[in-house]
Amino acid sequence: MPTPTIPLINGIPALGLGTYPLSSATCIDTIRMAIGLGYRHIDTAQMYGNEREVGEAIAACGVARDQLFITTKVDPSNLGQARFAESVKRSVDALGGSPDLLLIHWPPPDAEIDAALDLLAAELQAGRTRRIGVSNFTPRMLRQAVNRLGKVIACNQVEFHPLLDQTALKATADELGLPLVAYSPIARGKTFAIPAVQAAAARHGCSANEVVLRWIIQQGVVAIPKTDKRAHAESNLRALSLELSADEMSATASSATRSGRTINGSWMAGRWDD
């Protein structure tokens, strides 16, 4: 398979590799395999406990660091003044250098969001990351982030796939001029059963994951599916060369509901429409 060129969405490679819950040698081998196939965007987090393995894999992969795009996320337990910067220094050490994108992983339950955003911005100023962004922010929180820090917010990483209606959040992100990054983009396989996805896959002679990932990317949303299987990683990449019709896009979207989450997320449960 020739190495594909992965388009950028707001400077972020449109298809990346999720790394939760990869660990130890499987994590290193999977990342090296994916980079060998052409992946350049790797998503990790302090919470996943695998930043050191990500660092080892990218050091050994044979692709120059400036050709890679590494995202990590500050754990909710590290969002306070006393722990934020130290935790990011540990991430930088584990990764073998600064990430390309540093996110607040989950907004804090006690809503000290402005303080956490200021600490995030300080990491950018200190040069410990190339970009900053947020994750699991609701429309109201996303407006708050942009009001506080401006256009420097590079993305909002959220659950996004055709079983979950994210219309309101997408409209807010579009209005603010920043992209969403889709986690759980295939809803851990549940999206494969959507009749419109199966119909499009049959029409294009491809597999359901390709339709689902293409549906995401074709909307200008970045997708970061996790797989440790070479065949799945190759198949997910093929989404880049598919093109869905307007009818296929809307038919795929028609299965989405507000309750279609795969991950409901502790204290955020019930607050997503905020």
Cα(162)–Cα(242) distance, integer angstroms: 17
Token pair of 240 as six digits: 């880049």
Does 263 interact with ligand NAP (rule: CB under 6 A)? yes
- 3-state class of 88 per DSSP? helix
Does 232 interact with ligand NAP (rule: CB under 6 A)? yes
Does 226 interact with ligand NAP (rule: CB under 6 A)? yes
Q: Which of 36, 18, 8, 30 is nearest to 161 (CA)?
A: 18
C-alpha distances in Å from residue 108, one per residue of 52, 77, 170, 172, 266: 25, 9, 22, 21, 11
Does 20 interact with ligand NAP (rule: CB under 6 A)? yes
Q: How far is the CB of 184 from ligand NAP (least distance, A)?
A: 4
Active site residue 48: yes
Does 211 interact with ligand NAP (rule: CB under 6 A)? no
Does 271 interact with ligand NAP (rule: CB under 6 A)? no
Q: How far is the CB of 268 from ligand NAP (least distance, A)?
A: 9
Does 255 interact with ligand NAP (rule: CB under 6 A)? no
Choice between 240 and 263, CB closer to ligand NAP: 263
Identified binder of ligand NAP from the candidate list 72, 157, 166, 172, rule CB under 6 A: 157
Q: How far is the CB of 63 from ligand NAP (least distance, A)?
A: 19
Q: How far is the CB of 248 from ligand NAP (least distance, A)?
A: 19
- 3-state class of 62 per DSSP? coil
User: Contacts with ligand NAP in 55-74 (CB under 6 A)?
Assistant: none
CB 198 within 8 A of CB 254: no
Cα(217)–Cα(175) distance, integer angstroms: 18
Chain position whose Cβ is nearest to ligand NAP? 18
CB 130 within 8 A of CB 98: yes
Choice between 247 and 264, CB closer to ligand NAP: 264
Identified binder of ligand NAP from the candidate list 91, 235, 252, 255, rule CB under 6 A: 235
Does 145 interact with ligand NAP (rule: CB under 6 A)? no
Q: Which stretch binds ligand NAP (CB under 6 A): 14-22, 88-96, 109-117, 240-248?
A: 14-22
Token pair of 165 as six digits: 């209606």
DSSP string, 194-258: -HHHHHHHHHHTS-HHHHHHHHHHTTT-EE--B---HHHHHHHHHGGG----HHHHHHHHTT-BT
Residue 132 backbone zone (phi > 0: left; psi -120 to 50: alpha; other: beta): beta
Chain contacts with ligand NAP (rule: CB under 6 A): 18-20, 43, 105, 135-136, 157, 183-189, 209, 224-229, 232, 235-236, 263
Catalytic residue IDs: 48
